[in-house]
Amino acid sequence: MQISSLLKTITKPALYEPGNASMWEDDHISHQLLKLHLNQECDAASRKRVTIERTVQWIEKHLDTKQKSILDLGCGPGLYCELLADHGYQVTGVDFSKRSIDYARQSGAQKGLPIEYHLSNYLDLTFENQFDLVIIIFCDFDVLVPNDRTRLLNNIHRALKPGGLFIFDTLNPKAPAVMTIPDKYWEMVDDGFWKMGTYLALSESFHYEEANVILQQHVVCSEPDQCSVYRFWTHYYQYSSIVHILDEEGFSVEDTCDDLLPDDGSGTHDMVTFYVARKI
């Protein structure tokens, strides 16, 4: 490993410049992510069960008795899908992680829940006029660069029935202060989150204030491999921005909620806003 090359790698990149690695298809990382999804001690990959139950109750308040078909995008191991299916809804889940989908299918079958799961990238959806509600939870909406965001909204609009609902959550302008941006840390471990064997991980966050974007960058180095650079671009949105973005893609904002997440003392509950939008 050349120090000069590493110094260049860890500098602040241009906005939306991609890394050279993706975590979603990595077998080792997907195993770690599944454990985090199911971990009731933290909200690292999914929120805790009590918060999910609270969120589902809030979602159901916006549905009438005729709205029964629900599409969950980025469904992970099916935590929301199972609650909604248990409440009598016809649920379809989509996720890019094979390990998560395999777990979701097995868990749903064991519980006798007729949930339909698809192993797919939600940017490639082909559903048409099929669902009363589409949800995308845990701020997945925020990680999409503008072109992908437009592509996703077009897919959702096409998948919804006339007048269908789109419910999602986003980071709001309080996020940079709560997330302590910028920040940096490092770790050297054997058999950690990122890979098996000894590795050095250099992690840093950057704030692109002009674009309302936070980058969380992780440079993972081990011998003799090339350093793997993981970049997660995360937007935070003002209400007016969301209204404008959704209006351009054929949606109208009907409701918001800023206090749905419980206060755990970290301040993170204040930096997430939930939106309800209707297809127009």
Q: What is the pLDDT of residues 169-215, one digit of tens each?
A: 999 999 999 987 778 999 999 999 999 999 999 999 999 999 999 99
The mean of the pLDDT values for the chain is: 95
Q: What is the pLDDT of residue 26?
A: 92
pTM attached to this predicted model: 0.96
pLDDT of residue 2: 65
What CATH number has the domain bearing residue 51? 3.40.50.150
Number of domain units in the chain: 2
Q: Does 157 lie in the same domain as 55?
A: yes
Residues 154 and 165 placed together within one structural domain of the fold = yes
Range of the domain at 268: 39-171+237-279
Give the confidence band of 110 by pLDDT, cuts at 50, 70, 90. very high
* 195 is a domain residue: yes
Same domain, 57 and 128: yes
Residues 216 and 139 in one domain: no
Give the pLDDT band of residue 76 (cuts 50, 70, 90): very high
Q: In this structure, what is the dihedral angle of CA atoms 141, 145, 146, 151, given to the nearest 10 degrees?
A: -70
Can you tell me the mean pLDDT for 214-230? 92
Are 206 and 262 contained in the same domain? Answer: no
Residues 86 and 132 in one domain: yes
| Residue 19: HSE in the Cβ half-sphere, 13 Å Cα cutoff | 21
Structure confidence by residue, pLDDT tens digits, 225-263: 789 999 999 999 999 999 999 999 999 999 999 999 999
> Residue 158: inside a domain, yes or no?
yes
Helix axes 146-159, 239-248, angle to 10 degrees: 60
Whether residues 73 and 192 share a domain: the answer is no
Taking a C-beta distance cutoff of 8 angstroms, is the pair 238, 246 a contact? no
- At 78, the pLDDT band (50, 70, 90 cuts) reads very high
Please check whether residue 221 is in contact with residue 1, taking contact to mean a CB–CB distance below 8 angstroms: yes
